[in-house]
């Protein structure tokens, strides 16, 4: 390349860099995508003068500094501007780079922030002038309370919580900065009390978790009135989507497919009339519902006679609203839900789907992402529909759009959830995003920095919900104290739980104990890891659903990905567990001994007691050390 040519190219490049920098530093800069194109294009066009360009950027920074002498620290200004525009930037590192004129890595930092390098985890949102909250109050307990605490710690957000007396010794209460006792367990639903505490605590926002008040429009409304940010959509949107008939109508209007169905059904007579027109089987659903409460599959007029009032009263006691509506019932469907994120400025993206087909009595037990049932083409179509659904209602925050998928790959909107869901973790594993952190940032006014095309699904993740229930006894809830606890570990294993040895499982709440999530490059690898993790996992003192999960993870049809809504029945999973339980009983003690760590600690605990009461504690500790070193003793 000739000298003049080189010079020309350099001038052109300089121009591009200056242009790019101006874009970034300009508060009204064009989209991040445009900036990224510039950087990428430039790296491709002029790889040889890459470093020189960096020095151009640096000198640009220096000249800025010269133009604005005095107290203004242009370096800091640039750092904070870049922080506002770019995701995935480490503020400390950026400051270092900008202040060190010898450092050659500014461009790399910028490229990295754009995802040009292959990072494992990503931020999808950036906070502009808006600051993340100083303090959040958690209105929840257990696993999700701990999950939110962890997100707050990473964000540098103060985190306090409310708790019922039964949860006084829980991990979440211990890990929070401060916890306020609200009385007995039903007080988790006491809207006024919780908002009063949020005010007293000077919390800027309330995180409702899942369940409890997470989709309660009255709670969101009282938060709004009290100028406390409810971490979720507005009360108005919660109401609109909480009314399943309204939600269906809204979706249909925006081109999202829904099943043939009705508005509110006034009485049994009207129900029979509508059902005969729709043709049986139909499904009765609660207008204020969601999940499975108040739901009945109806095959005939006689069944309608039997089930209508039953469904009404179930809906009434679950939601305080007995209204029902009718939908055509689809057999052998799959339950596919799309995770979405929406910022306050109207931008919406989806993070792919979760397959939640394995359910029992409308309780999800195993979820996986991505779904084996979707091709890339269908994912794009359904994802588009999910984004349309969310955009239609001016949604904000994290949310889920649920679809049924039939044998012929037709999909139908069934409902939208406005909370962070129990199963959000599998999406985190395949997208590398921390959904709870993003949810909090979005509530604080962060902007989505990515476009749909930039979001990639990598690998595979499965979640097993481990409940304190006995799968051999019709999933009867099991209570008691966990006296032995050893969670699994290894690559691709994630345990999300507030469980520990000594944890008391009380009957006041739902029976979720721990979420076991396994990821891998492929579904096969994730399944293999899950099998291993389930075998390692030791929870003693209460019955758990681990035997159920083991049975499913070893089932041929599950391994092939052949699941529908009737998977558990068709594969006789519960029958197999009962058989297994009978033959396995004698093995149990032998298995226990294999777990050396817990066995040893138990042994030491028992051995030590009489010694430590007589002896000085230091001598006892020394004795324990020497026992641990001297393996021969055992």
Return the active site residues: 419
CB proximity list for 256: less than 8 A, separation 6 or greater = 385, 388, 389, 392, 413
Segment near ligand MV4 (CB under 6 A); pick from 25-33, 321-329, 447-455, 501-509? 321-329
Q: Which residue has the tokens 């043939």?
A: 260
Q: Under the criterion CB under 6 A, does residue 553 sit at the interface with ligand MV4?
A: no
We find the least distance from the C-beta atom of residue 302 to ligand MV4, in angstroms, to be: 20
**Radius of gyration over alpha carbons of the chain, in Å?**
28
Nearer to ligand MV4, 259 or 513 (CB): 259
Binders of ligand MV4 among residues 585 to 624 (CB under 6 A) are none
Residue 259 is a binding residue for ligand MV4 (CB under 6 A): yes
CA dihedral 290, 371, 358, 363 (to 10 degrees): -30
Q: Binding segment for ligand MV4 among 152-160, 325-333, 584-592, 625-633 (CB under 6 A)?
A: 325-333
Helix 523-536 vs helix 546-553: crossing angle, to nearest 10: 150
Piece of the chain touching ligand MV4 by CB under 6 A; list 110-118, 355-363, 579-587, 610-618:
355-363
d(CA 446, CA 507): 39
Closer by beta carbon to ligand MV4, 333 or else 431: 333
Q: Which stretch binds ligand MV4 (CB under 6 A): 92-100, 324-332, 448-456, 469-477?
A: 324-332
Which has the closest alpha carbon to 134: 440, 384, 412?
Answer: 440
Nearer Cβ to ligand MV4, position 62 or 378? 378
Residue closer to ligand MV4 by CB (options 75, 289) is 289
- Is residue 291 within the footprint of ligand MV4 (CB under 6 A)? yes
Kindly indicate which of the ranges 85-93, 180-188, 354-362, 516-524 contains the residues binding ligand MV4, using the contact rule CB under 6 A. Answer: 354-362
Interface with ligand MV4, residue 327, by CB under 6 A: yes
Residue 13: enclosing H or E segment and its boundaries?
helix 3-25
Q: Which residue of 339, 357, 431, 571 would you call a contact of ligand MV4, by CB under 6 A?
A: 357
Residue 274, interface with ligand MV4 (CB under 6 A)? Answer: no
- Phi then psi for 366, rounded to 5 degrees? -135, 135
Task: Note whether 292 binds ligand MV4 by CB under 6 A.
Answer: yes
Helix, strand, or coil (residue 410): coil
**What 3-state class would DSSP assign to 252?**
helix
Site for ligand MV4 contains 333 (CB under 6 A): yes
Nearest residue to ligand MV4, by Cβ distance, number only:
335
The CA distance from 555 to 531, in Å, is 11
Closer CB to ligand MV4, residue 36 or residue 335? 335
Q: Which stretch binds ligand MV4 (CB under 6 A): 356-364, 477-485, 534-542, 550-558?
A: 356-364
Q: How many residues bind ligand MV4 (CB under 6 A)?
A: 16
Pairing of strands 205-207, 135-138: parallel
* Residue 248 within binding range of ligand MV4, rule CB under 6 A: no
Does residue number 29 form part of the binding site for ligand MV4 (CB under 6 A)?
Answer: no
Is the Cβ–Cβ distance between 171 and 500 less than 8 Å? yes
Phi first, then psi, for residue 256 (nearest 5°) are -95, 125
In angstroms, give the least distance from the CB of 415 to ligand MV4. Answer: 7
Residue 371 near ligand MV4 by CB under 6 A? no
Q: Could you tell me the smallest distance in angstroms from the CB atom of residue 33 to ligand MV4? A: 36
Sheet harboring 397-405: ordered strands across?
411-417, 397-405, 334-342, 348-360, 363-369, 460-467, 512-520, 493-497
Neighbours of 184 (CB within 10 A): 11
For residue 469, what are the CA distances in angstroms to 83, 141, 314, 369, 554?
47, 19, 22, 25, 20
Q: Which is nearer to ligand MV4, 284 or 539 (CB)?
A: 284
- For residue 564, give the 3-state DSSP assignment: coil
Dihedral, CA atoms, 230, 402, 298, 565, nearest 10 degrees?
Answer: -120
**Which CB, 206 or 256, lies closer to ligand MV4?**
256
170 or 511: CB nearest ligand MV4: 511
Shortest approach of ligand MV4 to residue 258 CB, angstroms? Answer: 9
CB of 266 to ligand MV4, least distance (A): 20
Among 36, 141, 207, 335, binds ligand MV4 (CB under 6 A): 335
> Please, what is the minimum distance in Å from the beta carbon of residue 423 to ligand MV4?
13
Residue 357 Cβ, how far from ligand MV4 at the closest point, in Å?
Answer: 5
How deeply is 428 buried, as exposed, middle or buried, from its count of CB atoms within 10 A (0-12, 13-18, 19+)?
A: buried
Q: Which CB, 107 or 414, lies closer to ligand MV4?
A: 414
Q: What is d(CA 20, CA 35) in angstroms, rounded to the nearest whole number?
A: 7
Pick out residues in 386-445 that bind ligand MV4 (CB under 6 A): 404, 414
> Are 259 and 282 a contacting pair, CB within 8 Å?
no
Q: How far is the CB of 163 from ligand MV4 (least distance, A)?
A: 29
CB atoms within 10 A of CB 498: 23
Residue numbers 559-588 binding ligand MV4 by CB under 6 A: 565
- Report how far residue 461's alpha carbon sits from residue 369's, in angstroms, rounded to the nearest whole number: 5
Strands 178-183 and 158-164: parallel
Residue closer to ligand MV4 by CB (options 404, 512) is: 404
Are the C-beta atoms of residues 458 and 354 closer than 8 Å to each other? Answer: no
User: Does residue 338 bind ligand MV4 (CB under 6 A)?
Assistant: no
Q: Where on the chain is the footprint of ligand MV4 (CB under 6 A)?
A: 259, 283, 291-292, 327-330, 333, 335, 357, 359, 362, 404, 414, 565
């Amino acid at each position: 390349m000739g000298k003049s040519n080189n010079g020309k190219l350099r001038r052109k490049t300089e121009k591009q860099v200056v242009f790019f920098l101006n874009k970034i530093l300009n508060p009204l800069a064009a989209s991040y995508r445009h900036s990224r194109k510039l950087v990428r294009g430039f790296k491709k066009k002029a790889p040889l003068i890459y470093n020189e360009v960096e020095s151009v950027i640096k000198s640009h920074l220096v000249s800025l500094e010269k133009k604005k002498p005095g107290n203004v620290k242009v370096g800091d200004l640039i750092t904070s501007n870049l922080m506002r525009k770019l995701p995935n930037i480490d503020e400390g590192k950026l400051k270092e780079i900008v202040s060190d004129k010898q450092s050659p890595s500014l461009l790399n930092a910028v490229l990295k922030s754009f995802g040009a390098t292959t990072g494992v985890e990503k931020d999808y949102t950036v906070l502009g002038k808006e600051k993340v909250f100083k303090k959040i109050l958690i209105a929840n307990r257990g696993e999700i309370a701990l999950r939110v605490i962890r997100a707050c710690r990473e964000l540098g957000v103060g985190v306090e919580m409310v708790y019922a007396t039964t949860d006084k010794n829980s991990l979440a209460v211990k890990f929070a900065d401060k916890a306020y006792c609200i009385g007995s367990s039903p007080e988790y639903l006491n809207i006024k009390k919780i908002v009063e505490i949020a005010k007293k605590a000077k919390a800027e926002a309330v995180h409702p978790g899942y369940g409890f008040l997470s989709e309660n429009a009255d709670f969101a409304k009282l938060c709004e009135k009290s100028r406390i940010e409810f971490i979720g959509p507005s009360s108005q949107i919660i109401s609109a989507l909480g009314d399943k008939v309204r939600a269906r109508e809204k979706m249909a209007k925006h081109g999202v497919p829904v099943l043939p169905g009705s508005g509110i059904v006034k009485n049994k007579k009207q129900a029979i009339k509508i059902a005969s027109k729709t043709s049986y089987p139909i499904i009765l659903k609660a207008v204020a519902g969601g999940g499975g409460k108040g739901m009945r599959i109806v095959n005939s007029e006689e069944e309608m006679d039997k089930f209508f009032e039953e469904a009404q009263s179930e809906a009434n006691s679950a939601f305080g609203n007995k209204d029902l509506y009718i939908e055509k019932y689809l057999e052998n469907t799959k339950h596919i839900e799309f995770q979405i994120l929406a910022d306050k400025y109207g931008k919406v993206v989806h993070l792919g789907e979760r397959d939640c087909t394995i359910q029992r009595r409308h309780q999800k037990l195993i979820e996986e992402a991505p779904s084996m049932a979707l091709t890339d083409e269908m994912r794009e179509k359904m994802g588009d529909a999910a984004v349309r659904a969310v955009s239609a209602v001016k949604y904000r925050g994290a949310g889920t759009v649920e679809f049924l998928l039939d044998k012929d790959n037709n999909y139908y909107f069934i409902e939208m959830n406005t909370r962070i869901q129990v199963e959000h973790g599998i999406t985190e594993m395949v997208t590398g995003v921390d959904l709870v952190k993003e949810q909090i940032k979005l509530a604080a006014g962060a902007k989505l920095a990515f476009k749909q095309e930039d979001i990639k699904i990598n690998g595979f993740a499965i979640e097993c919900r481990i409940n304190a229930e006995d799968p051999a006894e019709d999933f009867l809830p099991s209570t008691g104290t966990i006296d032995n606890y050893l969670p699994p570990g290894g690559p691709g294993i994630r345990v999300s739980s507030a469980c520990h040895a000594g944890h008391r499982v009380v009957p006041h709440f739902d029976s979720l104990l721990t979420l076991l999530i396994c990821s891998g490059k492929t579904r096969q690898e994730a399944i293999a890891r899950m099998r291993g993790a389930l075998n390692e996992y030791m929870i003693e003192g209460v019955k758990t659903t681990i035997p159920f999960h083991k049975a499913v993870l070893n089932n041929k049809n599950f391994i092939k990905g052949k699941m529908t809504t009737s998977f558990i029945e068709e594969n006789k999973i519960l029958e197999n567990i009962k058989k297994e339980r009978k033959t396995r009983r004698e093995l149990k003690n032998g298995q226990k001994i294999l777990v050396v760590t817990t066995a040893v600690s138990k042994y030491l605990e028992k051995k030590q007691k009489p010694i430590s009461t007589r002896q000085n504690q230091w001598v006892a500790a020394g004795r324990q050390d020497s026992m641990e070193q001297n393996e021969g003793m055992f």
